[in-house]
Structure 1
């Protein structure tokens, strides 16, 4: 009984060793290798047809079922394989994406430049405003009763206030300032904004000219009133005149004349 157990154990162990033996089939190895990465070599297709294609194994494996199998490269990474085509398509799509990205970046840059030139928030950064129009419009943007009436004599200021000239001028300046601030803060084309500056600067210069004329007229009126008052009060000496004064003046002119 003991010998029988030993014999059965030995048979089972030997059967297990036989079941784990390595089987090497060149046909299977070549097929698995060429389908993955290796060259599609027609000489590595086993079994070979043999002399005059008389090998029966060749006919059982290839000849009867798929005689042209070895003539077509079926590797995924072959020059015309599906994986190669997919990679080429991916590369082409990447190239197309790069072109689209470049075009999008160009459109973005153009849009940002247009927004910067049209946005009212960035109008103060305009070079023409910084170099010219800001200085020209500074009196308009910063005007006040002190800046308008402060440099004038008190009597002239009182006259302008009494006849309503100051109220009219202040109202016109307020409306013009509101127009200017609207042009600065509104989104518009840079050319339209500059033309608006130009028109408003002309209006401001015309309005300033009217104010200067009215100030000068008020000063002249006050001077005339003062002179008239002096004459009325006889505070101004009047030279005594006689009919002989004209004759004396004429003779004096004739004596001093040079021919």
Structure 2
């Protein structure tokens, strides 16, 4: 029993020694309210001076505010209109606006660069509307010159053109144009320059095809004349106007000099 009583007395003493007393200092509370959320109220600076004839008479005021007489006159709240935190927030907002501006400017430059690259890129040259609507069809013979060389031509003419080198002349010229055509489609350049290259290649191709067709026609005429002459020599046919036929043969022979 005595031990229990002693324990209770000891517990009470220890509790009283370690306990905390709530201090409600209105000066501290007023300072906390000023600095945190309320307005800067000059009438709530404690302890008050208690003036007598304009002279402070409160010794506690002297120990607290006498060394800082200008402190109550200036709003020191961090979130006041001119407070440090307000300035930091304003600076952060200004930096965000500046960052957004530079980002927008950077995005604009990127979009312009992408548009410019798309405009001059050879990888996207096939998407050009003018190329799709006109030049792709006009320059199609350059995609496969061999298959279009003797379309609808007899084997005799083919053999004659091959033996006399005319076919090799056609292949060399068309291969050169095909190489230029591939450069025009694949290299990076201005759209107008690319279109001009297409047009020049098309004109050169038409000139070569015109000459090639002329060679084919003249070869066919030459072979036909040879056949007719052989038949005449063999007595299979008789020419009604031998003089005219001789003149015609001479003209054909003169024109076919370009085939050799």
Q: Do the structures match in fold with TM over 0.5?
A: yes
Give the direction of change, closer, same or farther, for the CA distance of 1:227–1:11 in structure 2 (3 Å limit).
closer
Give the direction of change, closer, same or farther, for the CA distance of 1:149–1:21 in structure 2 (3 Å limit).
same
Question: Residue 232 of structure 2 contacts residue 239 of structure 2 at CA under 8 Å; is this kept in 1?
Answer: no
Matched position secondary structure for 1:95: helix
Give the direction of change, closer, same or farther, for the CA distance of 1:238–1:182 in structure 2 (3 Å limit).
closer
Q: Distance in 2 between matches of 1:130 and 1:67?
A: 86
Give the direction of change, closer, same or farther, for the CA distance of 1:238–1:158 in structure 2 (3 Å limit).
closer
Q: Distance in 2 between matches of 1:183 and 1:35?
A: 74
What does 1:63-102 align with in structure 2 at a 5 Å threshold? 64-102=66-104
Q: Distance in 1 between matches of 2:136 and 2:180?
A: 15
Q: Distance in 2 between matches of 1:6 and 1:186?
A: 99
Map of 2:237 onto structure 1: 236
Give the direction of change, closer, same or farther, for the CA distance of 1:54–1:160 in structure 2 (3 Å limit).
same
Give the direction of change, closer, same or farther, for the CA distance of 1:152–1:24 in structure 2 (3 Å limit).
same
String of CA shifts for 1:208-228, please: whole Å, max 9, x gaps. Answer: 111011111112222332333
Question: How big is the shift at 1:87?
Answer: 0.2
Q: Distance in 1 between matches of 2:202 and 2:193?
A: 14
Return the match for 2:64 from 56, 61, 65: 61
Gaps of 5+ in 1: 241-259
String of CA shifts for 1:49-79, please: whole Å, max 9, x gaps. Answer: 22333222222211x2011110011111111
Q: Distance in 1 between matches of 2:14 and 2:115?
A: 85
Does the alignment pair 1:127 with 2:137?
no
Map of 2:13 onto structure 1: 12
Q: Distance in 2 between matches of 1:162 and 1:87?
A: 89
Q: Structure 1 length as normaliser, TM-score? A: 0.82
What does 1:127-166 align with in structure 2 at a 5 Å threshold? 127-144=129-146, 146-166=147-167
Give the direction of change, closer, same or farther, for the CA distance of 1:174–1:239 in structure 2 (3 Å limit).
closer
Q: Distance in 1 between matches of 2:115 and 2:101?
A: 21
Question: How big is the shift at 1:237?
Answer: 4.0
Give the direction of change, closer, same or farther, for the CA distance of 1:218–1:46 in structure 2 (3 Å limit).
same
What does 1:218-257 align with in structure 2 at a 5 Å threshold? 218-237=219-238
Q: Distance in 2 between matches of 1:225 and 1:124?
A: 48
Question: How big is the shift at 1:147?
Answer: 2.8
Q: Structure 2 length as normaliser, TM-score? A: 0.81
Map of 2:25 onto structure 1: 25
Map of 2:114 onto structure 1: 112
Larger Rg: 1
- State the Cα RMSD in Å: 2.6
Question: How big is the shift at 1:234?
Answer: 4.0
Instruction: Count the aligned residue pairs.
Output: 235
Gaps of 5+ in 2: 242-260
